[in-house]
Amino acid sequence: MKALKIAKKDLLIEFRTKHTINFMLLFALLSILMFSYIVGAFIAAVPDIGPGLLWLILIFSGMLGLSRAFTREKDLGTLEGLKLSPVSGTDILLGKVAYNFSLLVLIEVISFPIFLLFFNFPVAGSIALSFFYLTLGNLGFAVVGSAMSVLILNARARELLLPVILFPVLFPIIISSISALKKVLVEGETFLNTMGEFKIIIAYTVIMAVISLLTFDYALEE
Amino acid sequence: MAIIELKEVCKEFGGHLAINRVSFSVAEGESFALLGPNGAGKTTLIKILSTLLKPTSGEIIISGLDLQEEPEEVKKLIGVVSHNPFLYDELTARENLHFYADLFEVNRNNAEALLKMVNLEDRGNELVGTFSRGMKQRLAIARALIHAPKILLLDEPTAGLDIQGKHIFYKWIKELSLQDTTILLTTHYLDEAEKLCDKACILDGGEVKACGTLEEIKGVETLEETFIRLTEKGVE
């Protein structure tokens, strides 16, 4: 599948240069350190605000890398190289989603345990299910973020524009992911008791993926 | 037999007609130059032919395929070399060729023969970011040929190359021409067109000013004199 070839190429370049991943990771770790210091004075509030803070950290660090998947290709002129090849818009978009998702999961896997440790988080539920919801939320984030970063490709202040247009569209995924994480991690709820959030995240991600795939070719046109 | 055929092709950008009813055809195995001053529409036309831009109106047939109906099939028939090499600096020369071979679904082994052809077989495992402009352009030719295209579209391919680089480039283009690859070249260098091409089309303001063999276009003048005469309205 050509989408996987594109994702593999992007990951090879990223792990060779570490241009994006280092900054994303550094931002996530510094934010955890800073927030844990601030929240330390309000230890009783940690279970309530912790999941929201973790998601904010993941989203802000993710945003550092999301737009680069397309802007780097655009700036180097290699996006035209892709468009000159017999590759469908679907393959290009799915390749970029897979690449962005891989980076987000890597940040999540490193940040989540450090977050629990630094916040001295009182874990009441399943860590595995918490990872599942973080990963699911990141999948939605990667789909919506990749699609949105194409829309701003030709904009002048595209790095500034992305958060502004991304946050409102991402809102249902963020809220549902925070809610699911809080239920699992703090209240010790099972998967069945978080089915509502699961359905919203899946449905929204699928709807956004379909819209993105249908409009991607037009968005990519010069 | 015409392998490239344009009929009344127009391209409009926000009310400005960049290409105005352009018609010409290129026979199989022919080397054809698109000449014109800056803003004449050469690059726009190459972008249309390479499927990067859609024409506003008109018909384009590439090897019997309607470009607008079957762009994915047309892409398999064409290779594009422009001043931008479309290469990844952070990948090696070999990795770049393998990546494009995968996208075109052709055998990765093609890369070895092409690296040899462009004299880069010893540098195949080096990052493209360490290459000179001339080496990148040589690799760009290999990239464009990875799927053995029938048509090579060259958009100012020698821009920024030194004399040595241009000389090597001309040699390969002539060799490809002898192997029946159809060449469509846009250039600002008239001597380049005379060296490489049998036929040409002079564009100005998006319109065809002259089209035919170089002898037919020049008549008793030099190509430069004809070019200036046909495009001087644009200068004024």
pLDDT band of residue A80 (cuts 50, 70, 90) is: very high
Q: Which of B99, B139, B146 to mutate to test the interface with A (most CBs of A within 10 A)?
A: B99
Mean pLDDT rounded to a whole number for chain A: 91
Q: Residue A159 has what pLDDT?
A: 77
Find the closest chain B residue to A73 by CA distance: B88
Find the closest chain B residue to A81 by CA distance: B86
Owning domain of residue B138: 2-235
- Does A196 contact B at CB distance below 8 Å? no
- Does A85 contact B at CB distance below 8 Å? yes
Please give the Cα distance from A154 to A156 (Å, whole number): 7
What pLDDT digit, counting tens, does each position of A97-119 carry?
Answer: 999 999 999 999 999 999 999 98
Residue A80, classed as helix, strand or coil, is helix
Domains of chain A by residue range: 2-220
Report the CATH number at residue B49.
3.40.50.300
pLDDT exceeds cutoff 90 at B25: yes
- What percent of chain B has a predicted confidence (pLDDT) above 90? 62
Mean pLDDT of B112-141: 92
**Whole-Å CA distances, B192 to B1, B44, B208:** 25, 20, 20
ipTM above 0.90, yes or no: no
Q: Residue B234 has what pLDDT?
A: 52
Mean pLDDT of B150-159: 90
Residue B220, classed as helix, strand or coil, is coil
Q: How far is B152 from chain A (nearest CA, A)?
A: 12
pLDDT band of residue B236 (cuts 50, 70, 90) is: very low
Interface touch A81/B87, C-beta < 8 Å:
yes
Interface touch A85/B104, C-beta < 8 Å:
yes
Q: Tell me which residue in A5, A76, A81 faces B102 most closely, judged by beta carbons.
A: A5
- Does B97 contact A at CB distance below 8 Å? no
Count of Cβ atoms closer than 10 Å to residue A222 Cβ: 11
Count of domains for chain B = 1
H/E run at residue B9: strand B2-13
Q: Phi-psi region for residue B119, left (φ > 0), alpha (ψ -120 to 50) or beta?
A: left
Q: Tell me which residue in A80, A83, A222 faces B84 most closely, judged by beta carbons.
A: A80
Mean pLDDT rounded to a whole number for chain B: 90
pLDDT exceeds cutoff 90 at A216: no
What pLDDT digit, counting tens, does each position of A23-53 carry?
Answer: 999 999 999 999 988 887 677 788 888 999 9
Interface touch B88/A84, C-beta < 8 Å:
no
pLDDT exceeds cutoff 90 at B223: no
The DSSP annotation for A106-164 comes to HHHHHHHHHHHHHTT----S-HHHHHHHHHHHHHHHHHHHHHHHHHTTT-TTHHHHHHH
Interface touch A86/B76, C-beta < 8 Å:
yes
What pLDDT digit, counting tens, does each position of B60-89 carry?
Answer: 999 999 999 999 999 999 999 988 899 999
Q: Residue A222 has what pLDDT?
A: 66
Cβ density class B27-48: b for 16+ within 10 Å, e for less: eebbbbbbbbbeebbbbbbbbb
pLDDT band of residue B235 (cuts 50, 70, 90) is: very low
- Does B43 contact A at CB distance below 8 Å? no
Q: What are the helix (H) ranges across chain A?
A: 2-17, 21-39, 46-66, 68-76, 78-84, 89-118, 127-151, 158-185, 195-220
Q: Residue B172 has what pLDDT?
A: 85
Count of Cβ atoms closer than 10 Å to residue B212 Cβ: 13
Mean pLDDT of B1-29: 92
Q: Residue A41 has what pLDDT?
A: 66
- Does A2 contact B at CB distance below 8 Å? yes
Mean pLDDT of B132-157: 92
Q: Phi-psi region for residue B38, left (φ > 0), alpha (ψ -120 to 50) or beta?
A: beta
Interface touch B75/A85, C-beta < 8 Å:
yes
Token couple for A67? 């737009």
Count of Cβ atoms closer than 10 Å to residue B66 Cβ: 13
- Does A13 contact B at CB distance below 8 Å? yes
Contact residues for B201 (Cβ-Cβ < 8 A; gap 6+): B24, B32, B33, B34, B35, B208, B210, B211
Token couple for A31? 């934010």
- What percent of chain A has a predicted confidence (pLDDT) above 70? 99
Cα Rg of chain B, angstroms: 18
Question: Please, which residues bridge with residue B2 across strands?
Answer: B27
Count of Cβ atoms closer than 10 Å to residue A139 Cβ: 20
- Does B50 contact A at CB distance below 8 Å? yes
Which range of A202-206, A214-218, B1-5, B38-42 scores highest in mean pLDDT? It is: A202-206
Q: Residue B6 has what pLDDT?
A: 95
Mean pLDDT of A88-93: 91
- Does B172 contact A at CB distance below 8 Å? no
Mean pLDDT of A157-180: 90
pLDDT exceeds cutoff 70 at A96: yes
